[in-house]
């Protein structure tokens, strides 16, 4: 999927919980809370990340450090400085340290949707509200939780997550899970995560992720315009066009599922047609890949057992992307003005906020039609 760079915002509530626990403010609340085991693993996992962190510049200066690691970290330092200098993203200690967790993912997110619905299940927490996933620092615990949801009839998706974010509450480190990424993916990840430190709205994952994706796209475009060759810029443009095709393809079938689930057909008929829609999605992908071999990058996504939860996650990152792109254009691509406008928008009630965003999407659509 377009966000194989999936990142986890669950640690925001972990971070706030940690601060309150340290202060003793949640001692009584925790004593009767059914979420005690969940918070316990979250706090333990977070402290492990912090404990393993060490300054990047210290590693770079170490003559005994791995040369390839130092090469990657030097690039990350450049990207991090660019983020604050050119994109007006927070200039703080996030991504100035490195932690080797000795595992491929930092957390595993569990997503769930009812069998005949695309509405992702929400989990709500103290202070920060609700999110569309539940994150675990242990794959085994995530899988066990997912199995319990499956037994209740949910379509479930467990996704390994490479990026850990506390949204500025702590100085997030670069992780070994980032290593192996291309330069473009390193930049995408860091710009996306830092964007969440600029604006974050409780109870609105689509708003948060679409905004961060817009910053990510604009940031990487500017990064390569500033540092990349003509070939690299062309490759980036081709990649973003490929992502757009993939997302639009998935969303077309997602809309078919939505219409099916809202129909008056029996549940039995809906199950049969649901399976057919997923078969159609796979068939369209195979046809696309046969015509354009570069789409084989999505083989891993289609190798999964496709279900409602997997399809529903795609729109979290892209549903409002055209709106934020339009808002950025309306402010002459000035990142500072863009952030101010989005921050102001985030303060509106959700229904008013969504109305403004839909108007921006329509503005973006008309602009594209005019350009054609």
Is the CB of residue 123 less than 8 Å from the CB of residue 23? no
Is the pLDDT reported for residue 32 higher than 60? no
Distance of CA 361 to the CA centre of its chain: 21
Is the pLDDT reported for residue 125 higher than 80? no
pLDDT above 70 coverage of the chain, percent: 88
Per-residue pLDDT, 128: 57
Q: Is the pTM higher than 0.75? A: yes
- The Cβ-side half-sphere exposure at 325, using a 13 Å CA radius, reads 19
Measured CA to CA, the distance from residue 109 to residue 237 in angstroms comes to 30
Is the pLDDT reported for residue 21 higher than 60? no
Give per-residue pLDDT as tens, 195-207.
999 999 988 989 9
Per-residue pLDDT, 369: 66
Per-residue pLDDT, 126: 63
Task: List the one residue out of 253, 223, 220 whose CA is nearest residue 239.
Answer: 220
Measured CA to CA, the distance from residue 111 to residue 157 in angstroms comes to 5
Q: How confident is the model at residue 100 (pLDDT cuts 50, 70, 90)?
A: very high
Q: Averaged over 123-138, what is the pLDDT?
A: 80
Give per-residue pLDDT as tens, 160-198.
998 877 878 888 999 999 998 889 999 999 999 999 999
Is the pLDDT reported for residue 131 higher than 90? no
Cα→Cα distances 333→104, 247, 253, 280, Å: 36, 24, 33, 39
Task: List the one residue out of 360, 362, 370, 368 whose CA is nearest residue 331.
Answer: 360
Task: List the one residue out of 240, 241, 244, 246 whose CA is nearest residue 299.
Answer: 246
Tokens representing residue 340 in the block: 């101010």
> Can you tell me whether residue 161 is helix, strand or coil?
strand
Is the pLDDT reported for residue 127 higher than 60? no
> Can you tell me whether residue 165 is helix, strand or coil?
coil
Cα→Cα distances 96→74, 197, 323, 361, Å: 11, 15, 32, 36
Domain spans of the chain, in order of start: 7-230
Measured CA to CA, the distance from residue 175 to residue 189 in angstroms comes to 12
Give per-residue pLDDT as tens, 310-326.
999 988 888 899 999 99
Measured CA to CA, the distance from residue 284 to residue 65 in angstroms comes to 47
- In the DSSP assignment, the letter for residue 188 is H
Cα→Cα distances 371→238, 366, 367, 368, Å: 19, 9, 6, 5
Is the pLDDT reported for residue 94 higher than 80? yes
Is the CB of residue 294 less than 8 Å from the CB of residue 242? yes
Longest C-alpha distance within the chain, in Å? 69
Cα→Cα distances 321→184, 279, 342, Å: 19, 27, 13
Task: List the one residue out of 110, 112, 107 whose CA is nearest residue 307.
Answer: 112
> If 0-12 CB within 10 Å is exposed, 13-18 middle and 19+ buried, where does residue 350 land?
exposed
Per-residue pLDDT, 169: 83
Q: Averaged over 71-97, what is the pLDDT?
A: 96
Is the pLDDT reported for residue 12 higher than 80? no
Is the CB of residue 8 less than 8 Å from the CB of residue 164? yes
Measured CA to CA, the distance from residue 25 to residue 351 in angstroms comes to 33
- The Cβ-side half-sphere exposure at 52, using a 13 Å CA radius, reads 17
Give per-residue pLDDT as tens, 283-316.
999 999 999 999 999 999 999 999 999 999 988 8
Per-residue pLDDT, 372: 62
Is the CB of residue 12 less than 8 Å from the CB of residue 167? yes
- The Cβ-side half-sphere exposure at 191, using a 13 Å CA radius, reads 29
Task: List the one residue out of 318, 193, 180 whose CA is nearest residue 246.
Answer: 318
End-to-end CA distance of the chain: 28
- In the DSSP assignment, the letter for residue 134 is E
Give per-residue pLDDT as tens, 195-250.
999 999 988 989 999 999 999 999 999 999 998 888 888 888 898 899 999 999 99
Per-residue pLDDT, 18: 43
Q: How confident is the model at residue 92 (pLDDT cuts 50, 70, 90)?
A: very high
């Amino acid at each position: 999927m377009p966000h194989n760079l999936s990142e986890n915002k669950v640690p925001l509530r972990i971070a706030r919980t940690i601060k309150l626990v340290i202060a003793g403010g949640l001692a009584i609340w925790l004593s009767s809370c059914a979420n005690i085991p969940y918070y316990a693993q979250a706090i333990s996992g977070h402290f492990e990340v912090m404990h393993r962190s060490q300054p990047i510049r210290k590693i770079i200066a170490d003559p005994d450090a791995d040369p390839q690691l130092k090469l990657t970290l030097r690039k990350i330092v450049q990207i991090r400085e660019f983020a604050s200098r050119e994109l007006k993203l927070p200039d703080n200690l996030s991504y100035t340290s490195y932690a080797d967790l000795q595992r491929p993912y930092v957390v595993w997110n569990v997503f769930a949707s009812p069998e005949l619905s695309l509405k992702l299940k929400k989990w709500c927490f103290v202070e920060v509200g609700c999110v569309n996933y539940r994150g675990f620092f242990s794959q085994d615990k995530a899988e066990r939780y997912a199995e319990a949801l499956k037994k209740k009839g949910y379509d479930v998706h467990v996704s390994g997550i490479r990026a850990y974010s506390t949204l500025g509450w702590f100085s997030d480190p670069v992780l070994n899970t980032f290593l192996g990424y291309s330069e473009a993916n390193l930049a995408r990840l860091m710009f996306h995560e830092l964007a969440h430190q600029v604006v974050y709205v409780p109870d609105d994952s689509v708003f948060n992720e679409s905004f961060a994706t817009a910053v990510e796209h604009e940031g990487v475009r500017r990064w390569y315009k500033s540092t990349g060759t003509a070939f690299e810029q062309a490759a980036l443009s081709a990649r973003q066009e490929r992502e757009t095709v993939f997302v639009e393809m998935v969303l077309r079938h997602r809309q078919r599922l939505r219409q099916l689930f809202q129909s008056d057909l029996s549940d039995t008929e809906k199950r049969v047609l649901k399976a057919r829609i997923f078969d159609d999605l796979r068939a369209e992908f195979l046809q696309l890949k046969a015509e354009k071999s570069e789409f084989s990058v999505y083989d891993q996504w289609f190798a999964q057992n496709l279900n409602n939860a997997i399809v529903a996650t795609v729109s979290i990152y892209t549903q409002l992307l055209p709106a934020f792109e339009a808002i950025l254009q309306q402010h002459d691509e000035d990142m500072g003005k863009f952030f101010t406008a989005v921050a102001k928008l985030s303060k509106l009630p959700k229904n008013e906020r969504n109305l403004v965003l839909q108007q921006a999407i329509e503005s973006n659509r008309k602009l594209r039609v005019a350009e054609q």
